[in-house]
């Protein structure tokens, strides 16, 4: 029973919750050399918002298989990358920007730019620069 509850909790944690955003992320991955349709999402969180909620920034992590492109009938061994991503969704202008990085530090730097002037939520923990 405990295993079932843990599995259900993990499924809830990894659920994107916005089909349109999920499709845009998958399309972005496909356009950048990955098999986007089979990517596995983790830790999708709303991390920053601008009142009244038109501009939102989401963070996510994804494991995606590299698309080797055209091969001469040889099926190479699959190679997977763990990627760190951000989505900036602006509902006023119907724009959605997706960026993925292999390095978490690059995601932090972009988050600093995208979240400037926005309300950062608890999910942003780890993305905010430590100020001394």
Number of domains within the chain: 1
Q: How far is CA 109 from CA 70, 89, 101, in A?
A: 34, 18, 11
Q: Is 40 helix (H, G, I), strand (E, B) or coil?
A: strand
The pLDDT value given to residue 132: 37
In a domain, 132, yes or no: no
Instruction: Tell me the per-residue pLDDT of 59-109, one tens digit each, with 9 for 90 and over.
Output: 999 999 999 876 666 677 888 999 999 999 998 888 999 999 999 999 999
Q: Is residue 25 assigned to a domain?
A: yes
Taking all residues of the chain, what is their mean pLDDT, rounded to a whole number?
85
d(CA 125, CA 129): 9
One DSSP character per residue, 49-84 reads EETTTTEEEEEEEEEEEB-----SS--PPP-EEEEE
Q: Which domain holds residue 96?
A: 2-124
Higher pLDDT, 113 or 12: 113
């Amino acid at each position: 029973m405990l295993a079932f509850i843990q599995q259900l909790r993990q499924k809830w944690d990894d659920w994107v919750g916005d089909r349109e955003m999920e499709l845009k992320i998958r399309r972005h991955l496909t356009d950048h050399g990955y098999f986007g349709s089979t990517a596995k999402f983790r830790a999708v969180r709303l991390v920053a918002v601008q009142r009244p909620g038109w501009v939102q920034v989401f963070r996510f992590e994804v494991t995606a298989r590299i698309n080797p492109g055209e091969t001469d009938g040889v099926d190479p061994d699959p190679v997977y990358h763990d990627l760190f991503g951000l989505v900036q969704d602006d509902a006023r202008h119907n724009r959605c920007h997706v960026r993925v990085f292999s390095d978490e530090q690059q995601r932090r730097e972009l988050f600093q730019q995208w979240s400037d002037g926005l309300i950062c939520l608890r999910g942003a923990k780890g993305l905010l620069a430590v100020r001394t």
